[in-house]
Each structure stands twice: as C-alpha cells, then as structure tokens.
Amino acid sequence: MKGHEDKYMTEHDDRQIRDALKQYCPPVNTELRRDLWPDILRKLDHHPVRVPWYDWALVGLSAAMFLAFPRLVLVFAYHL
C-alpha cells in the first residue's frame, strides 16, 4: 500500500514538474528575422575549406611511387 502511494506521489510530482516547465519556460519566436546567406558566405571566405596535411602527404607519396615505378599506374587504374 505504501509503495503504491509513493508511486502515485512520484507520478504526481513528475506531472507537476512537466507542467511547471511548460509554464515557466516561455515560448520562443521561431521565425528567422533575416537572411543568413551573407554571414555564411563571409564565413566560407574567411575559413576556406582546407585539405588536411595527410591528404597532401598521400598525394605526394602516390606521385613519388608513380615516378619511381610507372607500371604501378596500370595497377592503380585497374583498381579504380
């Protein structure tokens, strides 16, 4: 019986907390007030997409391999 009462009180409290959250957290305006494209474009200009150093290393390594062993180009082309 006690356990049943506790469970009821817990559910009651939980419901009160849910109601309080809805009551006390005011709704926000979800309308975007301005176009964000200029900001995005500026950010793209200021932070150009960089190729990571390991990609450049891989390209350099591959080029060196092809120069040293030209036949590897055929093997490479076969696997593409």
Partner 1 sequence: MDLLQRFAHGEIDAFETLVRQFQGDIYAWTVRIVRDPGVAEDLTVETLWRVYRARHQFRPNGNFSAWARRIATNLAIDHLRRNRPEQSFLAEPAGVPQPDPVVQRENQERIQQAFRRLPAKLQVAATLALIEELPYDEIASALGTSVGAVKLRVFRAVRILRKHLSQAGVRPE
CA 33 distance to own-chain centroid: 24
Q: In the range 60-79, which residues lie near partner 1 by CB under 8 A? A: none
Closer Cβ to partner 1, 17 or 64, answer by number: 17
- CA–CA distance, 68 with 70 (Å, rounded to integer): 6
Candidates 37-45, 53-61, 65-73; binding stretch for partner 1 (CB under 8 A)? 37-45
Q: Are 72 and 65 in contact (CB under 8 A)?
A: yes
The binding site for partner 1 (CB under 8 A) comprises 10, 13-14, 16-22, 24-25, 28-37, 39-40, 43-44, 47, 49
